[in-house]
Structure 1
Amino acid sequence: KTHPKVWVDFASFLFDIAKGDETRELMDKALKAVPRTEHVLLISQFAQMEFKKGSPERGRTIFDSVVANYPKRVDVWSVYIDMEVKHGDKRAVRRVMDRATDLNLSTKKMKFLFTKYLDYEKEHGTEASATAVKEKARDYIKRKAAS
């Protein structure tokens, strides 16, 4: 009852039998049952499920809430970006990546985010969009060096 996987598996089952509304109610119950330390992971998994089996817009809303409350959680940003790449359009992907790379996180975390963004632009964008990401990364490095 207190393990997040049980709740996620049950929610997945409910989505599979077309009971999306019950799944959304289930998240509230799950959050009351699992330890607080598991909340971010649990909410992220419900958001992924919404993207895959329910409403991508609702999944987006859930992820937006999580990254607003936990902006330093690069693992959540990464999953959110992956879901947008898989289920969203280029504008949505870039919106999330721009938000993530506008943060002032550690150099290691920012390198991961900029690399992910640049890889996306090399594969799905243009030379100009890839150059824009490189320029944004250079600006970050300059800001970091100045502080």
Structure 2
Amino acid sequence: MQQHAALNDDEGLIQSVPPSPGAPKRDLEAVSSRFGIRLDAPFLEFLKEANGWPWFLYDLRIVSARELLSERFVQDARDLIFVEQDLIEDALGVNAIDCLPIGISESSTDCILLLLDGSGRPGEVIWEDNGEIYARHKDFEEFFRWMTRYQAGEVKL
């Protein structure tokens, strides 16, 4: 994502932050079991290669498998994201419990949500902020490709 910006930064102001190394198989299996996500689902395939990505887009980061296995982390992320729960549930058309926060901002309420089986649209990925939907994609792979193009300035919100 940020490599494009860093490569085109003649003044050296932007520093590329690489993703973390891939998640251990046992963590992927545990995330799969806990949230009902297929092991071959695009998001878990991503975690297999990159177990989280700090500064994925500015201060928006992709969380790691280990964080997803922490009940406290998941609940704290849901509490932060769903401050305006009714507003967000109406905008997304699903219950908050059927949304898994897989990307969170360190300084705002922007988040990336993975819809779970109970949503009726499992695997869908939504980038939202307090009910305002910036992007909606059928799965993490499509979302990631779009974010790459967004970061490169090829697509707009």
TM-score, scaled to structure 2 = 0.25
More strand per residue = 2
Greater Cα radius of gyration, structure 1 or 2 = 1
Larger RCO (CA under 8 A, 6+ residues apart): 2
More helix per residue = 1
TM-score, scaled to structure 1 = 0.27
